Chain A
Amino acid sequence: MTDQFEPTVIGFTCNWCSYRAADTAGTARMKYAPNIRLIRLMCSGRLDPTFVFKAFADGADGVLISGCHPGDCHYVEQNFKALRRFILMKRVLVQMGVEPGRLKLLWASAAEGAMFAAEINKFVEEIRKLGPLNWGKDEGGRMKDEISSFITHPSSFGEEVPA
């Protein structure tokens, strides 16, 4: 492990297409950067913007949102709702001083494992260029506190964190 900055990226996938794209990449042993960690939702429409801000507040340097291609959403058209939220979130991020490039939207079908892997690599590199987000440290963690203040969720790990 070198000393270069290793970004941490959280990826949201839907249960039907994009999670299966990840499965496809796995089954085919396609390699990609270990910087990404995926969370499965039923549909990209489930993506509450809170999740994205929470991820940034908790130390993610980038967030990927992925879902089925337009027209392929298994709940008819909920990915269009994700698309709308994505556009809004980008604007909010800019207002919070975060580079909008830290948020990415990706449509992936279950067959597109190779594309999924390649896009993850690309995204990780883009985030690497942007550098660490450090929301937790900026101005004494002001942003993190601000975000936490509207997420009513008691931390699972508290202050004492195992390393």
Chain B
Amino acid sequence: MTERIGVYVCHCGTNIAGVVDVVEVSKWAGEKLAANGVVISRDYKFMCSSLGQELIQKDIQELGLTRVVVAACSPHLHEATFRNACKQAGLNPYLCELVSIREQDSWVHTDKVAATEKAKAIIAGGVARVAHHEALEPLRVPIHPDTLVVGGGIAGIQAALEVADAGFHVYLVEREPSIGGHMAQFDKTFPTLDCSACILTPKMVQVGSHPNITLLTWSEVTKVDGYVGNFVVTINKKARYIKTEDCTGCGICWEKCPWKVVDEVFEAGLGNRKAVYTPFPQAVPKYPVIDAPNCAYFLKGTCKACEKFCPTGAIDFNQKDETISVPVGNIILATGYDLFDAKRIPQYGYGRFDNVYTNLEFERLCNAAGPTSGNIVLRDGKTVPKTVGIVHCVGSRDENYNIYCSSICCMQSLKFAHLVHERTGAEVYNFYIDMRTPSKGYEEFYRRLLDEGTHFVRGKVAEISDFARLPEEEGKLIVQVEDTLIGKQRRIPVDMVILSAGMQPRHDAKEVGKLFGIACSADGWYIERHPKLDPVATMTEGVFIAGCVQGPKDIPASVAQGAGAAARVLGKIQQKEISLEPVRASVDEQKCSGCRICNDLCPFGAILFHEDRMVSEVNPALCQGCGTCVAACPAGAMSGTVFSNEQILSQIEGLLLLTVNGKKAEAVTA
């Protein structure tokens, strides 16, 4: 045995020493594992303290240790601490192994003998393993200073502006003709009731004119190659049929276009647009797009009204989709959410009864720029409702649909109650399960609504029907609900019902996630690196998330995440280079048989195949080190650092050295 290994057993006060006989363990390791290269074994009160660390450092220098095993707490807590201590003493940090005898031993067992024997086994495993460690250097990768932001809702806008204002270039890719996202559809925003357009439009204009932002609307990312610092992103710019260099955004084309289409996206199906259109007057960019599948020219070969009237000759029916590819160092995904499809709950009658609306429809209904110029009227276009029912939690907090809380519906429903009351004087009933208003100024808004005389009925609505049982119900929609505060079934006749449909992950969130190498949780939202401590990073280095892609949230939180993600990106750009954990797979070309089994296993596309030499190779910067390919390679050609076969097989041997009652494992002697 050529390695000189030091073993350090921590008492952790009484946390470990109270259950595990640390002195005995340390003595055992020093004597019995000497054959495995252990030259010194010590126990100490607090290994992680500076004195504890110095103890190791001194031994490295004086005893010439080549490997260190620390038996203490979880590596997730102090691995970095001890690696650092070794590094300072001149030992490569990856030659140090921290094994847990606290979280996995003293804290979870009561039998002191068994716990002590287990600690010995764990240390034996660590000693056997550490002998096979290699000196490694963190991987260093240069970072391209440009950033890609996907999705131009409020979160993406904020992120793009922050990065661009700091002096770095941003590509903002938005799939609709204009940026703005959901917020552009709203009339007022809770809890302050500022006009949504008034606070959003200036930001949109800033994006449109920012020298550091390349705005690519009507575009989608189709491919992402590369890795943190060095992504290459392929973007499909859909044909707009407008020469943007000539277009002034004067609007004559959409005025003259004879072809009306129901606007399912921006107007939520409540209003019309033309075949050539911008979704709303303040759209950024100002250029329209021609919706080819609905354009008379593309459908029938004649019309071209827009071309005839365009004063600058900016219409170009021959434009084709264009593919561009750009290098970026970091990516922020801010693609937002979809609305829950209220038709999935047939008993609420959406789609069957004219006067049942979704929340998004209602936003358009009360928007001064919307199809009714902000008049809250029934589907007939003229009758003002006298009673309105607002149903909270539609599709949310419901085992049959989405189990999670959409977090904004309570506040949005209160906002609606206020707007209805203010503009129509109608009686308003809010049907809620629980009232959730946990943000700054939100509870105060709720109180205000209570004072305004809104009726709050606590209960989940069972059914909305048009069937009148009593004379006063004739011609109304009847909300059947159990009022759980008075313990009674109630039937409440109303003229209009608004369903506060919850948020849902984008229908294509999974595919888009795959494109960027990030995963969705069971609910379908993108998984953050840590739910509390790292909510905007993902498990893929260099890919960040912001806004509702990460989970339902309101505008302030979306903005905060946009800014947060931007700060993370700026931090990375400033580093110019990043170091990555050297947990990586690599191929021994001599052994590789070219079977390609590994090629398809890698979720990050890190393994490339050289047709000429018939061997596979791992791109170390793309590889994230999961090790799946290592486990799969039938030729044993693939190996993985930090978790190599030798390391793990030796650790197994060590762990099985002793049985539970401290006897030597039978198998070992056999």
Contact = CB atoms under 8 A, between A and B. Distances in A.
A–B touch (CB < 8 A): the answer is: yes
B403 to A, nearest CB: 14
B519 A8 contact: no
Contacts of A161: 657, 664, 668-669
B347 interface: no
Contact size range, B: 35 or more
Chain A interface, DSSP helix/strand/loop, else mixed: loop
A43 interface: yes
Interface stretch (B139-147, B276-284, B572-580, B642-650): B642-650
B178 interface: no
Contacts of A132: 666
B652 A58 contact: yes
A142 to B, nearest CB: 10
Contact of A162 (B33, B131, B601, B648): B33
Nearest to B107: A26
Contacts of B109: 31-32, 34
What band does the interface of chain A fall in when counting residues whose beta carbon is under 8 Å from B? 35 or more
Interface string A57-68: 111100000000
B382 interface: no
Interface in B58-99: 74-76
Contacts of B539: 16, 74-75
Contacts, number: 217
A90 interface: no
A60 B448 CA distance: 66
Nearest to B519: A76
Contact of A45 (B104, B626, B660, B662): B626
Contacts of B447: none
Nearest to B628: A45
Given A60-B652, A72-B521, 6 more contacts: A7-B660, A35-B660, A50-B649, A57-B667, A59-B659, A157-B668
Interface of B: 28, 31-33, 35-36, 74-76, 100, 102-105, 107-111, 113-115, 117-118, 121-122, 124-125, 128, 131, 514, 517-522, 527, 539, 583, 601, 603-604, 624-628, 630-632, 636, 640, 642-643, 645-646, 648-670
A156 B104 contact: no
Contact of B36 (A46, A135, A157, A163): A157
B131 to A, nearest CB: 7
A45 B666 contact: no
Interface of A: 1, 6-8, 10, 16, 19-20, 22-23, 25-27, 29-32, 34-35, 37-43, 45-51, 54-55, 57-60, 69, 71-78, 81, 85, 117, 132, 134-137, 141, 144, 151-153, 155-163
B600 to A, nearest CB: 11
A30 B667 contact: no
A34 B662 CA distance: 12
Contacts of A73: 519
